[in-house]
Amino acid sequence: MKEGKHTKKVSVIVPVYRAERYLKMCLDSIVRQSYQNLEIILIEDGSPDRCGKICEEYAKKDSRVRVLHERNQGVSMARNAGLAIASGTYVQFVDSDDRLALHMIEKLVDALEDSRADLVICGFYEENTNFKRISKTETTSGMYGKKRFLKEIMKQPYSFQYGVLWNKLFKREKIGELQFLADLDFGEDFIFNLYYLGGCNQIQVLEEPLYYYRRYNKDSLMYRQAKGKKEEKKYLQYMEKSLFLFTKYKQFYQEQGFYERYARQIEEYLLRVYVSERIEIKSGQMTSEQKKRCLALLKKRKEIKCLKKQMGIWAYGKKTIQFSVAKYKVKLRDILAKN
């Protein structure tokens, strides 16, 4: 640990729900960090398993741990509750079924303070019981001004890297009154990141993987939502939320004054959403009639109808094939990873 540094507190916010199997591993990786000046806020979101008891056990052993027991309102409200009491200079979000490299927070704080940036982002590991791989950042290590970083995002506008919270360290003062949208149960972190970026001047990138992301936790909300999409009603709700995310994405770039420059890339984001949903519907466990209704409703959306015209037939067709192949590769990888 560097002498004369690490005097600033980091608030680590951990929403906890249905993570009994992995929670101790997660919390051990936090309390054992080489960076010790932590405020560890556990928001137990009405979990029906032993998560609440496990959280209390850690609070008794470590004075840095604070537990909030809430009725189940979802991850967005849990994170908002954590932000409401966070007193650290910096904020890190952690998912309760994941874990941190033991020097992660130290490295992120050092990177932020040495560079005087407003945000630091790092690479991560994806792991499960039968696979592990490194996911480096889409951008190379270094300092980026906001304008340049928003340009980098447009190289991979649908990248997982930019949407998640846990491979980043935020400044509490920059978060300000920004909150997670309570009516979203996916993509809420993506929207949060976008609007936080809107207030940044400099972003520091570390390619080094420092976070261990558990790709499939069968008890997690994300996993259960994916299974729930098999129902027609769930598919329709998911489609609405996906299109809402696109609208927010477009709106953000308009507000930043970059939409005209990156309109094509943002349209590609919408096309990827459309292709992904179409494949999910076709491969889902609905009746043929339900699938027809879902596909027809998706195709009739005004956003989708305008897309082909805006992109042009040739570009639209080429990207549709490209995104379809990519989606099927992901589905194959997911099948192999789960088994």
pLDDT attached to residue 232:
67
Residue-by-residue DSSP string for 148-163: HHHHHHTTSTT-HHHH
Contact predicate 236/229, CB 8 Å = no
Low-confidence ranges of the chain (pLDDT < 50): 220-221, 223-226, 228
pLDDT attached to residue 88:
97
CA 186/CA 247 separation, integer angstroms: 15
pLDDT attached to residue 333:
65
pLDDT attached to residue 178:
95
The pTM of the full predicted model, rounded to 2 decimals, is 0.87
Which residues are registered as beta bridge partners of 92?
12
* Chain centre to alpha carbon of residue 271: 20
Angle between the 259-283 and 232-255 helix axes, to the nearest 10 degrees?
170
Beta strands in the chain, from DSSP E residues, in sequence order = 10-16, 38-45, 65-70, 90-93, 99-100, 119-128, 131-135, 142-145, 168-171, 202-214
Comparing CA positions, the residue from 149, 132, 160 lying closest to residue 326 is: 160
pLDDT attached to residue 4:
54
The domains located in the chain, with CATH, are 10-214 (3.90.550.10), 229-338 (no CATH)
pLDDT attached to residue 223:
46
CA 152/CA 256 separation, integer angstroms: 15
pLDDT attached to residue 164:
93
Rg (CA), the chain: 20
pLDDT attached to residue 166:
96
pLDDT in tens, 304-326: 778 878 888 888 888 888 888 87
